[in-house]
Amino acid sequence: MGVTRMAEGEAAVPVGRALPRDGLLLLAAITLFWGLNWPVMKLAVAEIPVWTFRTICLAVGGVGLLVIGRLSGQSLRIPRRELRPLLLTAFFNITGWHLCSAFGLLYMSAGRASILGLTMPLWATLLAIPILGERLTRTTATGLVLGLAGLGALILPEWRQIAGQPIGVMFMLGAAVFWAAGTVSFKYFRWTIPLAALTGWQLLLGGVPVAVGALFFDADFAPTTVSRTGWLATLGAALFPMLFCQWAWFRVVARFPAAVAAIGIVAIPAVGVFSGALLLGEPVGFDVLISLALVSGALAVVLIGPVFERGGTVRNRT
């Protein structure tokens, strides 16, 4: 998410024209891997400390994206005037989101965490009003109401348990707000760095304080105690959601209608909920289903509705 930019030599596919097969495959892969990432991460952080786990993922993703950018002929240089905005955006988008979401999974089921984490567009919409000067439209207000109702449906049935140990909910809502702040700051500044390189540098720069934290807090971590499942989960979280999905997302938002790309975001919490049930045996109660429906509806309204109002194509931004 964030800035959508057209790749050179490519044109957006207009709404109403059949989506190419490669676009459908990429969108399906993004939705599947980002959704599956929630139970996979929970398996990983059950054995590997959060700081170390996130350091591995961010290093693999950041280096991989910079390699992709270089192989594509892109410049990896960071202009001096863009360094401070890059550091700020990386702190929100990477450091805050990745730490809070991983810690949140220690205290919540993967399905519930995915619903809370994917409320990001709702908070981004609120932050965009004072920071970007965007208006609170009827469509936006509808999405916010649905989103808040979805949060209520998820939290209220277990409010006594949550009140006794609210840390999981606080971490996940904090993660969503961090991601939202990063998205809004990403849109606030003007960038000349190619998008793959820009995201790769965000992962690496935002990962620096995470790596420092790993050296400090995880000094006694013994890698030999981690099972094969734990390492496979970590490798999967690093390669698929962090590296492949980031690259695939660039392709989708560059070539296809934003409404189509947004459908993948809307579907991710559902994949997270049901993959958590299948892989981890997490219960999917009526409250989770109601919350999932409301939050997915809110995301659809906030992400897809305005696109059709504007005409439905991804526009070039510099």
Task: State both tokens at 55.
Answer: 């350091």
* Average pLDDT for 105-120: 90
Residue at token pair 């863009």: 82
- The answer as to whether 267 is a domain residue is yes
Percent of the chain with pLDDT over 70: 83
Q: What is the dihedral of CA 36, 38, 42, 44, to 10 degrees?
A: 60
Stronger pLDDT, 64 or 263, i.e. the higher one: 64
**Domain total of the chain:** 1
Asked whether residue 284 is domain-assigned, the answer is yes
Q: For residue 254, which amino acid is it? A: A
Q: Mind listing the pLDDT tens digit for each residue in 261-303?
A: 666 677 888 898 999 988 899 888 888 889 889 888 888 887 7
Q: Scan for tokens 């950041």, then name that residue.
A: 62
316 is a domain residue: no
Query: Mean pLDDT in the chain?
Result: 84
**Is 234 domain-assigned?**
yes
Give the integer Cα–Cα distance in Å for 172 and 170: 6
Reported confidence tier of residue 165, pLDDT bands at 50, 70, 90: confident
Confirm if 31 and 296 have CB atoms less than 8 A apart: no
Q: Is the pLDDT of residue 153 over 80?
A: yes
**On the CB side of 227, how many CA atoms lie within 13 Å of its CA?**
8
Residues 252/31, Cβ–Cβ less than 8 Å: no
The 8-class DSSP code of residue 166 comes to T
C-beta neighbour count of 203 within 10 angstroms? 25
Q: Is residue 3 part of a domain?
A: no
Is residue 241 situated within a structural domain? yes
State both tokens at 262.
């947004």
Residue 55 lies in domain: 21-310
Is the pLDDT assigned to residue 9 strictly greater than 90? no
Range list of H helices, 193-303: 195-217, 228-239, 245-255, 258-280, 286-299
**Closest Cα partner for 24 from 194, 258, 303, 264?**
264
Q: How confident is the model at residue 318 (pLDDT cuts 50, 70, 90)?
A: very low
- Residue 4 lies inside a defined structural domain of this protein: no
Q: Which of 86, 73, 269, 118 is nearest to 186 (CA)?
A: 86
Task: Check: CB of residue 98 under 8 Å from CB of residue 54.
Answer: yes
Residue 183 has pLDDT above 70, yes or no: yes
Residue type, 186: F
Give pLDDT tens digits for 119-136: 888 898 889 889 988 887
- Candidates 118, 172, 176, 147; CA nearest to 295 is 147
Would you state the pLDDT for residue 16? 45
| Structural domain contains residue 317 | no
